Amino acid sequence: MASILTRELTKGGSSHTVTWRDPETGLKTRTFSDKEYGPGEAKDKALELKAFLDANGNTYKLAAKAKVRKDSAAPTVYEVVVRHIDLLRKPPAWHDRQVPEHGRRSHRRERPRQDPP
C-alpha cells in the first residue's frame, strides 16, 4: 500500500512524496512539488499515482501501463466491435441521400423480358 507525505516548502508551496514498496525492487519514492506542476496539480498527481499503485499491487511497471491505457485516446476493442455491429444493423446517415427513390437497380440497363417456351 502506498502512502503520501506532504511537506510545506520554505519558499512557499508544498511537496508531496509518494512512498511504496515495490515487490521487485523494494522501497521506492516519487516526489511531486508545486514548483514543477503548479499549485494543486502536484497533489492531484501524487493522489493519482497512489491510486494506480494501490490498484496494481504496488508495481510501478503495471501502474505505468494502466495509466497509458487510461489516458489513451484510441478506442478499445469493445468500442470498435460495437460500432462495427451497429453499422451492420443499420445503414449510415448518408445512405438515404445517395440511394435514388426508385431503387438501387435504376443504374442497370433494362433487358427485355422473354416469355418461357
21 part of a folded domain: yes
CB 53 within 8 Å of CB 42: no
The predicted-structure confidence for 17-49, as pLDDT tens digits, reads as follows: 999 888 888 888 889 888 888 778 888 888 988
47 part of a folded domain: yes
95 part of a folded domain: no
109 part of a folded domain: no
More reliable by pLDDT, 106 or 71? 71
* Domains contained in the chain, number: 1
Backbone angles phi, psi at 55, to 5 degrees: -75, -20
Closest listed residue to residue 45, CA positions, set 20, 13, 67, 65: 67
CB 58 within 8 Å of CB 1: yes
76 part of a folded domain: no
Predicted pLDDT of residue 72: 75
- Rounded to 10°, the helix 41-55/60-71 angle is 110
Predicted pLDDT of residue 104: 54
30 part of a folded domain: yes
Q: Residues 6 or more apart from 1 whose CB is under 8 A from it?
A: 20, 54, 58
16 part of a folded domain: yes
